[in-house]
Amino acid sequence: MAILFHSPWDNADQWLAALRAALPKDEIRVWPDVGARSEIDFAMVWQIPPGVLAGFPNLLGIASLGAGVDALVADPDLPRNIPITRLVDPLMADRMAEYVCATVLHYHLGLDIYQEQQERAHWQRHQTTDAPGRTIALLGLGQMGQRCAHHLGGLGFDLLGWSRRAKEITGVRCSHGLSRLHQVLASADIAVLLLPLTVETTNLMDRAAISAMAPGSYLINCSRGEIVVEDDLIAALDGGHLAGATLDAFRAEPLAPDHPLWRHPKIRITPHIASLSAPATAALILAEQVHQARNHRLRQDLVVIDDGY
């Protein structure tokens, strides 16, 4: 049997080298050069064109090459009788936590203010706030959110958490359900989005949610661009309700050169790098998923299609 591989990333060669090392007895076929489709029993994909996966009659499993699976579950022809996994790599969670800590600290220390002052050659010190006096809200409490909570808690921040279902996490005051979202946002100095893209989270951060945020607070989005209504965010920044935002994910990627987000003075942009997959460690996880699927016991990190993650 053979394995299907598809990735638009510029490090696809690194992925293939790592996968071939982890699965030396397998033939890995790169889309669209798939050969006999009946010989392929496992697929490792990212943003594969809709309808493609339905054309492989002997698939035992489908693995996402990243933590997100929204593009997969949006495929109307996705085979629903085949187990699908998302990539849960502790290294990716560490990378996300590092990104979130760096961005939170940027705002916590007032570095955005001092950067603006530098541009004007203006010397002025501002009153500091210690970490216990700064409330951070983590929206999304999966593996990524919990790892971020661990790191931020170690720095002493006051932590709130919000999720779809009830969670209990040491050191985090947790809430759940849409009815509690605005209350959490109103209590936070910095809100961090770590949510999967689902029907429920699409456009979640709209005018009402952003208006519920505390005046002078900050928004960090390192999940999916479709969660934030960009025009509503810009309006809140222009009107002075929000002090700033860091965006790592966008509705259309790469972000168009003429997009107004690029040039907004209160917005910091990174090109979807908060938690990049690491081929060397991910390949070992994917190899284990292949072995499980072929033994008909794939139970690791399964996606619930109806939930969207």
Who's near 43: CB < 8 A, 6+ residues apart? 3, 4, 5, 6, 53, 56, 59, 61, 62, 63
Contacts of 102 (CB under 8 A, 6+ apart): none
In the set 165, 224, 241, 299, the catalytic residue is 224
Does residue 35 sit in helix, strand or coil? coil
Neighbours of 292 (CB within 10 A): 17
> Partners of 45 in the beta sheet?
6, 64
Instruction: Report the C-alpha gap between 259 and 29 in whole angstroms.
Output: 37
Task: Give me the residue label for tokens 């510029």.
Answer: 10
Tell me whether residue 80 is one of the annotated catalytic residues.
no
CA distance 302 to 299: 6
Tell me the backbone φ, ψ of residue 5, rounded to 5 degrees.
-130, 135
State the Cα–Cα distance between residues 190 and 206, nearest whole angstrom. 16
Q: Is 122 an active-site residue?
A: no
Residue of 20, 37, 259, 272 with catalytic role: 272
Q: Which residues are known to be catalytic?
A: 224, 272
